Amino acid sequence: NAGVTQTPKFQVLKTGQSMTLQCAQDMNHEYMSWYRQDPGMGLRLIHYSVGAGITDQGEVPNGYNVSRSTTEDFPLRLLSAAPSQTSVYFCASSYRRTSGALSSYNEQFFGPGTRLTVL
């Protein structure tokens, strides 16, 4: 199993450009999510999906779009890149998203990350 894969590894964009960060998992996980990681801050949730065809916003969704047409893939689209979107982006998946005591099953499996710079 490859686990969670992300492409590209590095990307430089100019302000206003658009691009798609790819994420795929081969573990048949229901739940997938996108995070950004900035210096001095914890991982922040951008968007998530609890299954194919279902997506929802996280803590910092502005400027990003997602879709989930298959269980395996969960691309993140930057519509018009801004310097504030310079960050490291991580895709993650888990078997499912549960709450309360059962949330111990919410082990997130992370991809290797995409380092994005917006000039």
Partner 1 sequence: KNQVEQSPQSLIILEGKNCTLQCNYTVSPFSNLRWYKQDTGRGPVSLTIMTFSENTKSNGRYTATLDADTKQSSLHITASQLSDSASYICTNTDKLIFGTGTRLQVFP
Residue from 1, 2, 14, 101 in contact with partner 1 (CB under 8 A): 101
End-to-end CA distance of the chain: 36
User: Residue 107: what are its φ and ψ, rounded to 5°?
Assistant: -70, 120
Nearest approach, Cβ of residue 116 and partner 1 (Å): 14
Residue from 7, 106, 117, 119 in contact with partner 1 (CB under 8 A): 106
In the window 15-74, what residues touch partner 1 (CB under 8 A)?
33, 35, 40-45
Peptide bond into 112 cis (omega under 30): no
Residue from 7, 28, 80, 103 in contact with partner 1 (CB under 8 A): 103
Rounded distance, CA 99 to CA 88, Å? 27
Of 2 and 14, CB closest to partner 1 = 2
Apex 90 CA angle, 115 and 105, nearest 5: 165
User: Does 110 interact with partner 1 (rule: CB under 8 A)?
Assistant: yes
Of 79 and 102, CB closest to partner 1 = 102
Rounded distance, CA 42 to CA 35, Å? 10
Count of C-beta atoms within a 10 Å radius of residue 86: 16
The footprint of partner 1 (CB under 8 A) covers 4, 33, 35, 40-45, 90, 92, 99-101, 103-104, 106-108, 110-113
